[in-house]
Amino acid sequence: MSIAPQHDTAYERKTLVLLGLGFGLVGLDRWIVAPLFPHMMHDLGLNFQQLGSLIGILSVTWGVWAIAMGAVSDRIGRKKILVVTMIAFSLLSSLSGLATSFASLMLIRAVMGIAEGAFTPASVAATGEASLPSRRGFNQGLQLSMFSLLGLGFAPILATQLLRVVPSWHWVFMISAVPGLIVAALIARTLRDQPRSVGVSVRTTATSSAARPRWTALFASRNVWLAMAAILCAMAGIFVVSAMVPTYLVEVLHLDTQSMGFVVSAIGFGGFIGSFGVAGVSDYIGRRNAAVIAFVAAAGLLYVFSCTGPNPQLLFALLFGISVFALGLLGLLSGPIATEAAPLGLIASSVGFVSGTGEIFGGGLAPVIAGFIAQHFGLAFTLDFALGGLIAGAAVSLFLVETAPRKLAERAVIPGTSGDQPV
């Protein structure tokens, strides 16, 4: 399909920058609890299973609301949802610093998950709609990569270094709200209410003459189901690692707090590279090939990591590689694969369904199960659980239908109206 000459490249770039920063702050507010947990557990009397529950409850509410609000975003547009939810989760992250018990933390993080879950499908859809189809995979991957860079890369360093200059971990949470409020104001000023009308494909353009599709049309797409199962496996792998490795490094390998922060930052920096790298490469080698390769590579590196002793430099390198592939999978599956699997007019619904279901089970239940394993069998066994998730994901990805526009153009495939066909 030819690209409309009026495509607004400047708006595409502004959208990518703002929504990338927004999603990065989603990650920071979500994951800053993990490097702070060794300090929180002593002050609040928490245990490993409760750490899994704190990570899990946010994922469950995130997933439920990503599914629900994806469909709402397809109806009312993106801007209102993005601004309101970003203000909400920023303030809730700050409120975490006032928590005095496990129960209050659970409540705050559950509500935070509602806001972050609603933000996700609207932001990914808005980025896809502002992008040229040939850049969609890279752009959505780059946006999603900021979750890793800020949330899993800079958050451990920021948190552990701030602890040296502020009175307690409470203040770290309080400070975390400020950047989100600034970015929310910029999104309100810049984002268009109906970016879908500017230089987009027929799949993302709503027309007044056509009946709005039913949400249940998603279930006719094979790739929606497969992406949902695959992202569940990917999240079960990387989210268990992200939740448990900081405490594993301190309690099992006996690293000090600053060394732990250095090693754990590899998750974010690797995920940053992987999120746009895996999705961007998939524009050329295909979505299916990229997914299979990434799952296999992540599983192999995680096995080596689990056999490595207290060597911060080697641990950093291995964790960096794991994250390149595992977090890259999240960007690939919830970005271009979910977008290209969507029927006409249901992009945010597809993104919300894929990422939301993965969050509920892979990001929500998996850390809770891992917390139980850590509490009753030892932290080291949680890495075996994560490894199993990655291996299962490789098997699921073998059945994906190829949808990358460049790959199908090479095969001279003409796009149709099927949910499994590309734009």
Contact 109, 31 (CB under 8 A): no
Structure tokens at 44: 């609040």
Q: Which helix (H) or strand (E) holds 359?
A: none
pLDDT at 345 over 80: no
pLDDT at 291 over 90: yes
Identify the weakest region by mean pLDDT among 109-113, 166-170, 380-384, 410-414: 410-414
The mean pLDDT of 306-335, rounded to a whole number, is 92
Res 193: pLDDT: 67
- Report DSSP state, residue 96: G
Contact 85, 183 (CB under 8 A): no
Q: Which long-range contacts (CB under 8 A, 24 or more apart) does 392-397 make?
A: 392/233, 393/230, 393/232, 393/233, 393/234, 393/237, 393/291, 393/295, 393/329, 394/292, 394/295, 394/296, 394/299, 396/226, 396/229, 396/230, 396/233, 397/226, 397/230, 397/288, 397/291, 397/292, 397/295
What is the Cα 261 distance to its own chain's centre? 21
Helices (H) and strands (E) in the chain, counts: 18, 0
- For residue range 292-307, list pLDDT tens digits in order: 999 999 999 999 999 9
- For residue range 61-104, list pLDDT tens digits in order: 888 898 888 878 888 888 889 999 999 988 998 888 888 888 99
Residue 265's φ and ψ, nearest 5 degrees, are -60, -20
Question: How much of the chain exceeds pLDDT 70, in percent?
Answer: 91
pLDDT at 250 over 80: yes
Structure tokens at 159: 């948190």
Question: What DSSP letter does each residue of 274-319 carry, written as one string?
Answer: HHHHHHHHHHHH-HHHHHHHHHHHHHHHHHHHHT--S-HHHHHHHH
The whole-angstrom separation of Cα 115 and Cα 136 is 25
- The contacts of residue 150 (CB under 8 Å, 6+ apart) are 24, 25, 27, 28, 268
Question: Rounded to 5, what percent of the chain is helix, strand, coil?
Answer: 80, 0, 20
Q: pLDDT-based confidence at 212, cuts 50/70/90?
A: low
CATH 1.20.1250.20 fits 15-194+216-410, yes or no: yes
Q: pLDDT-based confidence at 58, cuts 50/70/90?
A: confident
The mean pLDDT of 178-196, rounded to a whole number, is 82
- Buried b vs exposed e over 263-294: b needs ≥16 C-beta within 10 Å? bbbbbbbbbbbbbbbbbbbbbeebbbbbbbbb
pLDDT at 207 over 70: no
Res 208: pLDDT: 39
- For residue range 355-388, list pLDDT tens digits in order: 888 878 877 788 888 888 888 888 889 999 999 9
Res 5: pLDDT: 53
Q: pLDDT-based confidence at 201, cuts 50/70/90?
A: very low
Q: pLDDT-based confidence at 264, cuts 50/70/90?
A: confident
Res 204: pLDDT: 40
Res 182: pLDDT: 93
The residue type of 13 is R
Res 203: pLDDT: 43
- For residue range 135-168, list pLDDT tens digits in order: 777 888 788 888 878 887 788 788 888 888 888 8
Structure tokens at 89: 């989760």
The whole-angstrom separation of Cα 249 and Cα 95 is 28
Structure tokens at 390: 């990655």
* Residue closest to 270 by CA, chosen among 363, 392, 154: 154
Identify the weakest region by mean pLDDT among 127-131, 188-192, 211-215: 211-215
More confident of the two residues 131 and 282: 282
- For residue range 6-30, list pLDDT tens digits in order: 777 888 889 899 999 999 998 888 8
Other Cβ atoms within 10 Å of 18 Cβ, number: 22
Res 172: pLDDT: 87
Domain ranges of the chain: 15-194+216-410
The mean pLDDT of 346-357, rounded to a whole number, is 84
Question: What DSSP letter does each residue of 162-228 carry, written as one string?
Answer: HTTTSSSHHHHHHHTHHHHHHHHHHHHHH--S-GGGSS--GGG---SSSPPPPGGGGGG-HHHHHHH
Res 397: pLDDT: 95
| Residue with token string 């900081």 | 246
| Residue with token string 């040296």 | 164
Structure tokens at 338: 């979910």
Distances (CA, A) of 267 to 167, 271, 300, 325: 27, 6, 16, 10
* Residue closest to 342 by CA, chosen among 408, 292, 403, 285: 403
pLDDT at 259 over 80: yes
Question: What DSSP letter does each residue of 214-274 carry, written as one string?
Answer: PGGGGGG-HHHHHHHHHHHHHHHHHHHHHHHHHHHHHHTS---HHHHHHHHHHHHHHHHHH
The whole-angstrom separation of Cα 239 and Cα 146 is 16
